[in-house]
Amino acid sequence: MTDIVAQCLALVAPAESAFRSRWRLSTLQRVNADLHQALSEQIDLYNQALITGSDKDCRIQSEAMVRGWRAACAALESPLLPDDSYQVGMDYNTGTRVVIAEQKDSIARVQRIDGERVVMVTPDEVARMVAGMGIFAEVKSLFPNAEILQVEKTK
């Protein structure tokens, strides 16, 4: 990786994380289709510059990418739309809070909001856990509305 690419990634990452840790691009598309289109085009320009662009192109597109992510955040912050890039679950018996998200930055967002220790898992990890719990998967397939209310530890 060249120095300029590393610099560009470091410049853009905080702005991108500020958006992706809270919202999905589909939310932006629903709220502001024009901005979504412009951001999508900018993402393409930025990626292309990182691959084949000159140092100057990389800098220009990185700065534009930061502006794009900031504009996307502003569009969803006013009026404030709820975060939708993650889901939070709580086991009140143990106090365990679980965040299900694709973006690892979402856990930091939840920690800032709730100030509590949380466990983060991806949707794929949830699928593996369900698949590994044969009885759970069987019950849910037969009774889709069934809920797990308590889990007993086995010895």
Backbone angles phi, psi at 41, to 5 degrees: -65, -40
Same domain, 60 and 19: yes
Residues 88-109 have a mean pLDDT of 82
Is residue 24 situated within a structural domain? Answer: yes
- pLDDT value of residue 146: 85
Q: Among residues 99, 70, 60, 67, which one has the least CA distance to residue 83?
A: 99
- pLDDT grade, residue 52 (50/70/90)? very high
Is residue 98 situated within a structural domain? Answer: yes
Same domain, 22 and 58: yes
Same domain, 70 and 7: yes
Q: Is the pLDDT of residue 31 over 80?
A: yes
Q: Is the pLDDT of residue 113 over 80?
A: no
Same domain, 46 and 69: yes
Same domain, 58 and 90: no
- pLDDT grade, residue 29 (50/70/90)? very high
Q: The domain containing residue 103 runs over which residues?
A: 86-142
Is residue 153 situated within a structural domain? Answer: no
Radius of gyration of the chain (CA): 20
- pLDDT value of residue 115: 63
Is residue 136 situated within a structural domain? Answer: yes
Percent of the chain with pLDDT over 70: 97
Q: How far apart are CA 130 and CA 135, in angstroms?
A: 9
Close Cβ partners of 76 (under 8 Å, ≥ 6 residues apart): 19, 22, 23, 27, 28, 31
Q: What does the block give as tokens for 112? A: 């800032």
> What's this model's pTM, rounded to 2 decimal places?
0.71
Q: What does the block give as tokens for 109? A: 């967002």
Of residues 151 and 40, more confidently modeled: 40
- pLDDT value of residue 153: 72
Q: Is the pLDDT of residue 39 over 90?
A: yes
Is residue 152 situated within a structural domain? Answer: no
Residues 83-93 have a mean pLDDT of 84
Same domain, 9 and 69: yes
Number of structural domains in the chain? 2
